[in-house]
Structure 1
């Protein structure tokens, strides 16, 4: 299968996932994440704002803020295809941004640079057991990860998103862990 086929397959599988089962899976994934040494030790957390069928991150964000962690979320520049890490103090600091109505910070204030992030929690459509990641095709995370080489990289996914192998390009960045409802896969 090519990248497009994987993307279509996973989007279709996520769209038919029962809401009750999704909530259970999300709860299991959240619980596993919060128990990791990477999460416990991190002070500066970069995390995506979930939409649609993605593993929900809203409760992780709220919990992290309550624990006193500095939480940074993506703000993209669609012209330059760059993504900045912007600190938020609340989910209420976010607004819907067209055309996909993704939640992003209102302003570009409080940007964290380079290797100051301890942990990056990222989405994706498909992952390999070797740590390869297939995103949505914009290249935002690959560019972002190149400037954050010291950060632990944890992907949140459902088990049906994990394959033995997926198609990759030389510029595709890997993850260090994949957390699914069934457990934590640590990439060696």
Structure 2
């Protein structure tokens, strides 16, 4: 099995699927995902690590709005240049405090407050997921490296239903033992708990 070729094929399939989503349907799906994630958060949650969705990812705008309306602070990731593949989370005060990274992703400025909670829930993006909690990302490994350094976080992945694949049919999901598996996976129609 050519692992990289299969991962690339899955990525192409998902990217094509994301381009075909009707905007009205996407809004309904994103709201369903946001509500399901909110119901999973432990009572007393004060901060959640999230991400700003881009390029057809499962939308987080509604989720971030609802978190802030619930007085839950939202930390967003910033990639730190260097060979260690470091990613740190900062808590921007306003959406206007974000800047576009070299990857074209809105990131908080380093002058913002840095996250100081090694156990808060983290909402994890991804290209594809298995029905057993494995994840295929974009290939840079930033989230895997982050969780290797801070393994105490609750991991909640979110995706559209067509991004979930049966691992028994696609063993590529279990090919790399360094990949961090998710504890929860939320889609518009389903909650997976691992």
TM-score normalised by structure 2 residue count: 0.88
**Is 1:177 paired with 2:193?**
no
Q: Deviations over 1:21-43 (max 9, x none)?
A: 111111111111112243x4422
Whether 1:65 aligns to 2:68 is yes
CA deviations on 1:59-109 (whole Å, 9 max, x unpaired) are 2222222322221110002323210011122222211223x3210012254
C-alpha distance 78-66 of structure 1, shift in aligned 2 (>3 A): same
Q: How does 1:161-172 map to 2 (within 5 A)?
A: 161-165=163-167, 166=170, 167=172, 168-172=175-179
Give the aligned partner of residue 49 of structure 2. Answer: 46
Corresponding residue SS for 1:89: coil
Q: Which runs of 5+ in 2 are unaligned?
A: none
Q: Deviations over 1:95-140 (max 9, x none)?
A: 1223x32100122542225x52410001001111111011000000
Residue-pair matches, total = 184
Answer yes or no: is the 8 Å Cα contact 2:31–2:62 preserved in 1.
no
Q: Confirm or deny: 8 A CA contact 1:62 1:90 kept in the other structure.
A: no
Question: Does structure 2 conserve the Cα–Cα contact (< 8 Å) formed by 1:44 and 1:116?
Answer: no
After TM superposition, list the pairs within 5 Å mapping 1:88-127 onto structure 2. Answer: 88-98=92-102, 100-113=103-116, 116-127=118-129
What stretches of structure 1 move > 6 A for 4+ residues in a row?
none
User: Once superposed, what is the RMSD of the aligned Cα atoms?
Assistant: 1.7
